[in-house]
Structure 1
Amino acid sequence: MKHQKNNNGFALVTVLIIIVIFTLLGTVLINISFTNAKQLNKTEDNMQAVDLSEMGIIYYKNAFIKNAYNTFDTAVSTAKSELINQGREITVDNILNELSISVNDFKLPIRIPKEIPVSTHRFEIIENSLSISSRNLKVIFESNGIMNGSTSKITATINLNIEEVIDTILNGGSGTGDGSGSSGNANRGKTLMDITLSKDGLNDCTTCTKLKSGTVGYFYKTLTNNASIHNTIAYISGSLLSSNKSNSSIKNSHLYITENVDFENLNAGVEKLKLFVGKTATIHNLNGTIKNSTIYVTKDLIFHNKVKEIKNSKICVGGQLTAKSFPEPDDTWKEGIYTCMRFGNINESGNDSGTDVSTVIEEIKSQVEKGEITYN
């Protein structure tokens, strides 16, 4: 009897074995794919956490510096007033010696940043230390970026040189006007250092009541004047009230007045004048030119009529500036009109057109470039 082989059975077993092998391999490959995907997601989370921590550094740096400059601006203004009252020169060193500040003045008024609610990503700021010396303000802080459980920490240091900060506030660089045309440019924080005058060495005049041309002296009280003032050096501990004639002028003079000034007529112009006014200055008629002069008014400056022309002169106003109009700035207007010891602009209507201290952030980018703000 012949026997037949059942090859179909062996073929079925072979197919089943192959199916099992491919199933096992597929499971392994799928697991590998899932693992790689998780690793990629984790890597992406880590990278985003780093980005968040860097965002925190930038955010805190800007907030801290803005707050610091606000604080210094107030302190410098107070110190400057003290120096003026004492008759001392306004310099960085003198202001530094008069400065009244403490570490607590520089703590941010709110915790920043606020965490994003119901979110897996955020950055948190932790202040590690804040210190101040006679020359330096220093803060060490860390920024933690958090993304889906992944955390990145960056520690950073901000160093602010106090002398440079004061100098920046006193000489805040050029600014732009309000675009109204005749008001011209108004620069932030300019200080005019060449108007100071010491009464030491000047002849005392206890009985003088009028200021005359050619006078050199120290006067104890308010004076009057009814003519031009030429070749005069006067320290007046009081006011100067001048009912001068319509063709009067002031030339080649240095006047330091602790109180107010009131000029009735200066239609013949002002030339080579250094004028310091401790309070308010009022000029009723000025049909001439302000030329090669420096005028510093601690409070308000009032021009009752238009200013015809300004040439190579500086006018610094601590309060409001009021006038009908100013000449359009041109090449002959070398310096222009400034605000004294503060940020912001002034315009011809006497309105303060802004005190945006945030612009200081742009002005101190050089400190970043010099490495004074660094990542550790």
Structure 2
Amino acid sequence: MKYLKNERGMTLVIVLLTITVFSVLGLAVMGASVNNVKQVKKAETDIQTVDAAEMGVQYYNTLLKDFFHQQIALKKSEIKTLIQNDYVNKVPLTDDKIEEYEKKLGEKLIQAFNSSPLFPAFGTALSKDIDTPTKTYFKIKNLSPSPLCPTCNTTAKETVEQIEFSYESFGHTNQQPEKKLTGKFVFTFSIDKSEIKEKLIPAQNHDYTTLIPKPTNVSPCSSEAFGNGNNGRDVFDTVNCSYNQLISVEKPSEITDSILVFDKGVQFIKQLNKGIEDSTLYITGVPGTTTLFNKQVNGIHNSKILVKGNAQFETVNQGIHNSTIVVVGNAKFGDGQDKLKKLEHSSIYVIGNADMTDIDFTQFSTTAKICVKGTITGDSSLYNYPIYSESYNKVKFDEKCSLGIIQDGDKTIDISDQFMDWAEEIKPIVSYN
């Protein structure tokens, strides 16, 4: 009993020791947990900071790509003008000259960038907040002193030239240590010599009256010049003569194998139901009147018609074939539902304005053309056909409608819109620090 009494209090000691051990372990676990939370939070902050720096790289590169893309489109016209001026001054278009143009382009692009807000003379290129509560933002700093074009000064024939420079993007989050990424921006461009070509041009001559000279050695027409056809209709068949008064042909039937001069104008009141064939009509209109080919003209074939003054062709049912028409004034083709239909192996020249509202363009052949020195009224789609207007596109008009003969030296340079290429997708080279 005495031995047992000596062991009193041992249970309390054991309980106290157990409590102490668990307390120590609990504190250790709590400490480890707190430390882990801090480490996780620090890792998350580091990731957010790096993400902020990466966002800076992506954002800045988008701005750079847009800037250089816009600038090269602007400088394109300047280089094009430079090439054209050199051609006029008889500067040969050699490979070395292409390299020189590319170098000049590189200099212009670098100069434009150096004076832009994207490349400040001092300090930060740009800074942008990402998340205000966590104070997350990025800054672009420490750009290269100036972009370089390392290939522009080489004598080797490069496939492409390139402009390059480096910069740094700093990410910030919750006043933690910043993270820095270094980016390298590369922009490539080139001039394609094969898209710059020399071509012949005709000497400029738009005196279309020379196409149909006034007939000579024709006798005055008598009233008997009107032959009687079927049903009392008027027929010009193998008639060569000249009228000196305004003529109204009341019931025209046909004009065949004839040379007719109308010095005071003519109007065909009703339809020429057999058309005009193998004939020449030289018409000098009276001021204030219009030479009128009324209603249906059933075809104009192998003929020449010159009208000095205004003219209207209301309807040509069977079309115009192998013929030339010159109007030294304004012209109207068609009248409402009546249309000029079919034009092939023929040319129409109008020195004034032309109303083409009522033309059936679907039947126009590529062997035909209409040249108008003035303006054209009609659907905008008419320029999809062989129709040329000096007021719409003078270069095309001169090319297609000049009567001049090409001489030695009548050349120009043709620079297509595809003569310059550049990289539109730019992938930065990024290194993490």
Give the TM-score taking structure 1 as reference length.
0.49
Query: Quick check: which has more Rg, 1 or 2?
Result: 2
Give the TM-score taking structure 2 as reference length.
0.44
